[in-house]
């Protein structure tokens, strides 16, 4: 039952963020809509900021699962990289997903103690990219993948905050920047 209550709290918190992205939902409203008690809320979370961080973490896990799934559909390393970029860019390309992502980012950056979720998300994406970059010729796939992951998220966030959907050309431009940069950065043999 506790797992069900936590899921409802996460879902309601996200729903309230989507309804009023600039708002500041009250714990009383969250527990009322989730149909749980205050005690249930505080068994799961120390504060509303903890709930907001958990919502962001839940979204990050879903995003990484989607990125991994899209990457794994391909054998060619360049296509794997392209699939990863496309999957991350979906956060800004789909208007509903973009609105939700902006709302979550607004709420989690307001937290008294900033979360390290964004850093961890970039690291996990870099882990997904490293093997593909090694296959493309990277001499230092772990470091190259971290730079690529940071670039992918930075560009996605630019689209997200300017409320402009990335085009296929935008995806191709970033992939065309990532792949040759790791080959060029390889030491001469």
Convert the pLDDT of each residue in 121-157 to its tens digit. 899 999 999 999 999 999 999 999 999 999 999 999 9
DSSP string of 67-91?
HHHHHTT--SHHHHHHHHHHHHHHH
Instruction: Tell me which residue has tokens 């607004």.
Output: 106
> What pLDDT, in 10s, does the model give residues 100-131?
888 888 877 655 444 555 668 899 999 999 99
Least confident of 16-20, 33-37, 133-137, 183-187: 183-187
Smallest CA-to-CA distance from 41 within 17, 3, 1, 5 is with 5
Measured between alpha carbons, how far is 125 from 127 in angstroms, rounded to an integer? 5
Is pLDDT of 19 > 60? yes
pLDDT of residue 189: 44
- What distance in Å separates the CA atoms of residue 16 and residue 103, rounded to the nearest whole number? 9
| pLDDT for the residue 118 | 61
d(CA 138, CA 110): 38
pLDDT, mean of residues 41-59: 91
Cα gap 38→65, rounded to integer Å: 32
What's the pLDDT score for residue 21? 81
Q: Is the pLDDT reported for residue 175 higher than 80?
A: yes
Show the domains of the chain with their CATH numbers: 1-45 (1.10.10), 59-184 (1.10.357)
pLDDT at 110: 56
| Cα separation of the two ends of the chain | 60
- 187: confidence class by pLDDT, cuts 50, 70, 90: low
Q: What angle do CA 156, 158, 163 make, to 5 degrees?
A: 95
Residue 1 clears pLDDT 80, i.e. is over it: no
Q: Give the model's confidence band at 85: pLDDT under 50 very low, under 70 low, under 90 confident, else very high.
A: very high
Percent of the chain with pLDDT over 90: 69
Mean pLDDT (the chain) is: 88
- pLDDT score of 120: 85
């Amino acid at each position: 039952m506790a797992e069900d209550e936590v899921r409802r709290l996460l879902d309601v918190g996200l729903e309230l963020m989507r309804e009023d992205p600039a708002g500041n939902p009250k714990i009383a409203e969250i527990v009322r809509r989730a149909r749980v008690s205050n005690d249930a809320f505080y068994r799961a979370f120390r504060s509303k900021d903890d709930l907001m961080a958990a919502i962001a973490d839940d979204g990050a896990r879903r995003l990484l699962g989607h990125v991994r799934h899209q990457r794994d559909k391909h054998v060619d390393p360049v296509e794997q990289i392209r699939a990863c970029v496309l999957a991350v860019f979906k956060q800004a390309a789909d208007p509903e997903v973009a609105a939700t992502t902006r709302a979550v980012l607004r709420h989690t950056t307001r937290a008294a103690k900033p979360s390290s979720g964004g850093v961890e998300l970039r690291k996990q994406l870099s882990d997904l990219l490293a093997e593909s970059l090694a296959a493309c010729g990277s001499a230092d796939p772990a470091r190259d993948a971290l730079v690529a992951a940071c670039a992918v998220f930075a560009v996605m966030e630019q689209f997200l905050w300017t409320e402009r959907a990335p085009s296929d050309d935008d995806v191709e431009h970033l992939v065309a920047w990532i792949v040759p940069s790791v080959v060029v950065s390889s030491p001469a043999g």
